[in-house]
Structure 1
């Protein structure tokens, strides 16, 4: 980067020799913070580069290129190359240490629908859950398939697939974001088709939109929260009180666990009494 392109601050002071007020103030602040950190025993100018290197390789195994990783982390791609392979043109090996801020930025990058390649194969949990939730809201499958540019057969298969490509996941997410709050009957879906879609979803226990949290809908291990208490000891009773039946499996499991604990407590009490 040319000196004229670099913002005034610590880097321009050190690399370009600029001695303006802004650059001098930045250096003074840096030195002051450094001295305080040293006195507190918290000065850590470098950290081990190996975890960063392994994370980059893991991201690459998910079909993320260095350019995509650099963009997501907001770092220079050449710095990633230096961590992975060193600088062959200079005869330097892969970096052994990196700055903490650089490490934190790279380690924070995760493979998502937004930064993976369109043809990358991913778990289909998020896509199928979103489509099932839309059907539960009254959107006919044929209507959704047409919006996604799918045949009815491909759409039906997507509802149950274990894996899809990122391009499909993005299209489904976009459609879900567009329709999840909309009333199908206000968008050309007649009452009969609306009821048929809802009944079809109910018969298969497809979770509605309100049962999923945006932060967990893509997590294969997550489960829908039908009652606001699902997966807890109160969930089973909540299902019956709200008439959301049958109870979901996490609530049945929590109820069984509660009964086991009650039996064990009773036995323990009898043993103490004896």
Structure 2
């Protein structure tokens, strides 16, 4: 593959065109200014880059994918991780700051993971359950995804979901959570049954979820605006729903604190 014109092509390929020469002149000028200011840092530790690469790999990202997202050659990342065994060299101890910045900017988001990567189904389940809670029959959601109802149910029961399916469900949720199921072909009976089905299982509606935390295993739905506090325990009574577990925990903790204070007074 032909290297683009610039500093690297000037140094590595010997190109002396105007573009390559100008890139080298800019680099040298920036370096001279940084050296005079005492801020010149041509190298930085590779350890942070190495740790980040391993974390990305643990999340299911391959080195080729990471290299493409960072805009660097895969062999450079291999040298950071494992060195060059064919040359008998150990993993690099230092890297250029630009390479470090490029790699550290890569995050294991759904968009960056390979489509076939298996991930936790938690966020996918919560989104489907939230849509059912506002009246979307599951067969309508399955049809929206181009799935048979049986396969849709199996997807929700598995201990993982593929990234491509998680992205499809997220897009469906974003499109439907404020829409009226009746305007999309759901019958009044189907809507009522969907809501009842969700209510029996304490499935939270979209309004109870923070979009930024719906995928977070530590997050819980905020049914009352005060969930997770003793006030939330009593607020549940106004929405004719049993208190959620975080509210029960907070209420019980407050009661134990009161008994402890009474026993010591």
Alignment match of 1:143 (pick from 140, 144, 147): 140
Q: TM-score, normalised by structure 1?
A: 0.79
Alignment match of 1:184 (pick from 181, 185, 202): 181
**Structure 2: how far apart are the matches of 1:35 and 1:211?**
56
- More displaced stretch, 206-215 vs 86-95: 86-95
RMSD of aligned C-alpha atoms?
3.0
**Structure 2: how far apart are the matches of 1:48 and 1:244?**
58
Matched, 1:262 2:258: yes
Q: Is the 8 A contact 1:226 1:244 kept in 2?
A: no
Distance 1:28 1:130, change over 3 A: same
Structure 2: which 5+ residue stretches go unaligned?
Answer: none
Q: TM-score, normalised by structure 2?
A: 0.81
Alignment match of 2:220 (pick from 220, 223, 227): 223
**Structure 1: how far apart are the matches of 2:87 and 2:242?**
67
- More displaced stretch, 131-140 vs 149-158: 149-158
Q: Deviations over 1:67-123 (max 9, x none)?
A: 211233343333212212334566543211223453344234333322222332211
Distance 1:248 1:35, change over 3 A: farther
**Structure 1: how far apart are the matches of 2:8 and 2:260?**
65
Distance 1:192 1:66, change over 3 A: same
Q: Is the 8 A contact 1:119 1:167 kept in 2?
A: yes
**Structure 2: how far apart are the matches of 1:36 and 1:261?**
59
Distance 1:2 1:153, change over 3 A: closer
Structure 1: which 5+ residue stretches go unaligned?
Answer: none
Distance 1:119 1:19, change over 3 A: closer
Alignment match of 1:171 (pick from 168, 173, 179): 168
Alignment match of 2:204 (pick from 207, 210, 221): 207
- Size of the alignment, in residue pairs? 260
The match for 1:153 is: 150
